[in-house]
Amino acid sequence: MDRGPLDRWRPRLFLAVALAVVATFGTLGASHWQPGARDIDALGLGLALVGPVVLLALPRRPVLAVLLAVGAVGTYLALGYAWGPVLGGTVGVLVMVLLTGPAARARVVAWSGAVLMWGVVVGAAALRDEGTRVGGLLGGAAWTAVALLVATGIRERLARAAAWRAARADRERTAVATERLRIARELHDVLAHSLSAINVQAGVGLHLLDRDVEQARSALASIKTTSRDALDEVRAVLGVVRGEGDAVEGTGDGVPVASSDAPEPRTPTWDLAALPRLAEPLRARGVTVHFDVDPALLPPGAVPAHLAGVAYRVVQEALTNVGRHASRARRVVVRVARDGDVLQVTVDDDGGPVGTHDADAVGYGLRGMRERVEGAGGTLHAAPGARGFAVAAAIPLDLSGPGAPQPDPAPDNSERSELSGPRTGIREPGPDNSRRNA
């Protein structure tokens, strides 16, 4: 609803009282200093107070308020009462109209009322016995226009301020909703992967409890490790929610931990060197997970931290879905490579076609993956392929931002994981080396 500053009763009451005081004492003074004018009496004083009264009583009926105020001032002047502040009451009504209700209607009524007012004043002046004060009439009309222009500027300024506040509130609501969605995705990724791994390991432990105590103990140890890592990740996410001053750094295995020396983070970060730990639940089930990651992408800073986090989460969710939905899968291939200015991430399994994994009918996991990738300006394709389910993400690399990859970075040969090693030793010959277009 289009409301003006005088739609509230307190400012309107203040203006009406001020005008009433000025009209009363000003009219009495003007009558004293204009001997030729008619002496002020109850009728004249009542006509002088019509403007302040209608200003307070008729804010929702601007046309009637203007007609009453203009009629009262015309009658006052035609009866021969003294010139003076009586005109201020009518101008106050015009200002009230301009600052009340819808702006477009207020402008039309106020300026039309100003023209009517001065037409009536000129007519009333012509009926008086004294000479017409042309200079005074022109000056009064000019001051009326100035008052209306000032009121118009005040209303427009207040309207711009209100629009700015509304836009800021809308941006804040959007930012809050976006942050909630991001946190929900983080927690979903952490909990879905970790609980799926714990479920698999618990099943293995129960199955081997009576036949192979050592293997059962190993499964329980894996459960402990997985749950501890999940708690660390959840604490990292919740630390950002609480706005704690401690930042989140990566440990040697890519798990985020708190650091009191680092600046406050916007979100926990993961690096591509942490990808092998995501395969532990599948390997506990006997599934072979092969990583084909370009060693040039592994050094710190080779890929911007937020893009590495997107790639990490895509691989995490894809492997979690393999464990949950592809019970026949025996081999999964994860590829991460740079293709020009694009980071290509693919995850293929051989679990056979799964009709329920449709790109247009996905659950929260695939939806979260798609939102993450598209939020980074990339594209995601996830659909059943010839041998199983395939996920392919293309993420543009921000080459101008901090942490952008440098030309021909040299990998650190002193600390190689299963992802690094010689370039010729991380690819396997055969059909698995070609990227499937799902």
Digitized pLDDT (tens) for each residue of the chain, 438 residues in all: 467 667 777 887 888 888 888 888 888 877 777 777 787 888 888 888 888 888 888 778 888 988 998 888 888 888 888 887 888 888 888 888 888 888 888 889 989 988 998 888 888 887 776 665 777 788 888 888 898 899 888 888 888 888 899 999 999 988 888 877 777 777 776 776 677 677 767 877 777 777 777 777 777 877 887 787 777 777 776 766 666 544 444 444 444 444 444 444 444 556 788 888 888 878 877 889 999 999 988 888 888 888 888 898 899 888 888 877 787 888 999 999 998 889 999 999 988 765 444 444 445 667 778 888 988 899 999 888 778 888 999 999 864 444 344 444 444 443 334 454 433 333 333 333 333 333
Tell me: the pLDDT tens digits for 322-374?
877 787 888 999 999 998 889 999 999 988 765 444 444 445 667 778 888 98
pTM of the model: 0.48
Per-residue pLDDT at 131: 61
Per-residue pLDDT at 347: 93
Q: Which residues contact 34 (CB under 8 A, 6 or more apart)?
A: 82, 83, 84
Per-residue pLDDT at 328: 83
Instruction: Count CB-CB contacts under 10 A for residue 191.
Output: 13
Per-residue pLDDT at 412: 42
User: What phi and psi, each to the nearest 5 degrees, are found at residue 418?
Assistant: -70, -10
Q: What is the DSSP letter of 81?
A: B
> How would you class 36 by CB atoms within 10 Å of its CB: exposed for 0-12, middle for 13-18, buried for 19 or more?
exposed
Report the alpha-carbon distance of residue 327 to residue 331 in Å, rounded.
11
Contact 66, 54 (CB under 8 A): no
- Bridge-based pairing state of the strands 331-339 and 288-293: parallel
Per-residue pLDDT at 73: 87
Report the alpha-carbon distance of residue 129 to residue 161 in Å, rounded.
51
Per-residue pLDDT at 393: 94
Distant-in-sequence contacts of 122-129, Cβ < 8 A, 24+ apart = 123/74, 124/73, 124/74, 124/75, 124/77, 124/78, 125/77, 127/78, 128/77, 128/78, 128/80, 129/80
